[in-house]
Amino acid sequence: MALRTVLKQVTKTGASLRLLHISAATSKVSPTWETTAPGWHFELTKEHGFMPTKPILRELPSQFEHVERLLQEMPIHKPDGSPGLLATGDFGAAVDKGLPLYDVSRVTDPVLLSALFRDYSFLAAAYVLEPCHISMTETGNFCAARPVLPESIAVPLDTLGQKLDNAPFLDYAHGYALNNSYKIDPNGGFTMDNMRTLRKFHGGDDEQGFILIHTAMVAHSGGLVTAGCNAVEAASKGDIDGLSDALEHHARTWAQLFNTFSGMWHASSPKGYLQFRTFIMGQKGNDDIFPEGTTFKGVSDEPRRFRGETGAQDSMVPATDNLLQIDYSHNKLTEYLWELRSYRPKDHRAYIKWLAEASREYKVRDLAMSRTITALGVLRNLDFIQQMRNQHWQMTRRYIIDNTKYPKATGGTPITTWLPNNLFSTLEYMQTVIHNIDSKVASDPLNASDVEAYADIKHRAMSRLSTLEKEVIDLQSDFDERQELEEFETRQH
């Protein structure tokens, strides 16, 4: 129906209804998520969330036998306990001598495409970073990485990256974690005792535990996607009860995620993390390791730089940020956050973008802030985000800062300021929601159990806000390289 006809029909019913129809008729964002990658391995669905839609491919077809054989021989500790090529320092030579240039341009099967991307990205990371791992093991310091990726890896990896619309280097979803974990019992769940990792650099339990905890977390993400879609749909209809239910569902899912994440302390030890950390570094931000970037031989003579593999490439937190409309500080540290959002599967990027646009279009935050119970629903979700970010920060201190003075995270971000910058933005938003609830609670009271939950969340937020900045400042003297402290200290919205 034309807008003019709609306006004519509703004029008699009053201004509020007229504005409602104008909004609906001129809206450019659908209140319903629609995939941009139907049939892809990482198609975003409510059932699978951010996980692959099908089981991963655990062995490459015979026409790629040399890739499969190299990956079997690569780990520092092979499954039979013998030392692999990375243990002896012979991996690079084995690639140069024995890996042919395979043509992957005709591959169309989504599962095989993702498997090949995973495997070539493992080969690429191992090839360029092998000398750095040896140097770190022997001297405690990194040397420069190999500056040139051989044609036998570079050309297929670049082709696969183009086919998948993915940066051609090891990432979180297609590469190291989600597309690298499989279930022992196909009918069982993605639980720690029912999963194993396929490709490894070190091959020990700490590396496997590190990968599987991340996969077990994301296995819950279908709940986040379902609740996020339901929240937008409810807001588009002005259905505050539906929005309340969606926010509650979203928070319950985050409770499961946080409980799983807390298992990292037992699944992967701080000392063990350094055994494989080198191999997930990227070029961008790690200039000491990659002073010349990486030249993809046979693709381009121009060196290339990509962010390293990092949990910050996961899609659950940015999707939640966008649903709840968290406002981040305008500084260089936040620019890293936006850049890392591009290192995700195509459909994940599209969903995160849609969620940001739809949440603002249908005023999810405004509707939620209109009642104390729905504002508390927002606060519950923010509380889990701050707990996740705080625990990530505590793990960074224990796993990395206590064991090495290299000043950058694997994604190339400053080790002492980037995570706290994101945590601070979450805590500051929590303050805004708390003020909103305090201003309404006299006329719109919470029930007794909600009052208790609110008091606990409020106490956690205020306590964490009071100590975080001092922690960051106290750590600066441990690092020679600038950590962009002034960006952290001058956060402006």
The owner of tokens 């140097």 is 135
Helix (H) or strand (E) holding 183: strand 181-183
Report d(CA 3, CA 19) in Å as an integer. Answer: 12
Q: What is the pLDDT of residues 73-129, one digit of tens each?
A: 999 999 999 999 999 999 999 999 999 999 999 999 999 999 999 999 999 999 999
Identify the pLDDT of residue 12: 32
What type of residue is 480? D
The model's confidence at residue 481, banded by pLDDT at 50, 70 and 90, is low
**What is the reported pLDDT for 217?**
98
- Check: CB of residue 325 under 8 Å from CB of residue 410: no
pTM surpassing 0.85? Answer: yes
Tokens representing 314 are 């996961």
In this structure, what token pair is assigned to residue 103?
Answer: 């043509």
Q: How high is the pLDDT of residue 418? A: 83
Distance (Å, whole) CA 219 – CA 50 = 8
**DSSP H or E stretch at residue 182:** strand 181-183
Q: Rounded CA gap, 110 and 105, in Å?
A: 13
DSSP 368-413: HHTSHHHHHHHHHHHHHHHHHHHHHHHHIIIIIITT----B-TTS-
- In this predicted model, what pLDDT tens digit does every residue of 322-341 receive, in sequence order? 999 998 877 777 888 888 88
Question: What radius of gyration do the chain's Cα atoms show?
Answer: 24
Lowest mean pLDDT among 213-222, 293-302, 409-418, 428-437: 409-418
Let me know: does 243 contact 374? Beta carbons within 8 Å.
Answer: yes
Pairing mode, strands 295-296 and 181-183: unpaired
Average pLDDT over residues 40-59: 98
**CA-wise closest residue to 483 among 436, 420, 404:** 420
Question: pLDDT for 190-210, tens place per residue?
Answer: 999 999 999 999 999 999 999
Query: Is the Cβ–Cβ distance between 196 and 184 less than 8 Å?
Result: yes
Give yes or no for residue 488 having a pLDDT over 70. no
Q: What whole-number percentage of the chain has pLDDT above 70?
A: 91
Rounded to whole angstroms, how far apart are CA atoms 127 and 149?
7
pLDDT in tens, 291-324: 999 999 999 999 999 999 999 999 999 999 999 9
Distance of CA 208 to the CA centre of its chain: 18
* Residue range 163-179: mean pLDDT, rounded: 98
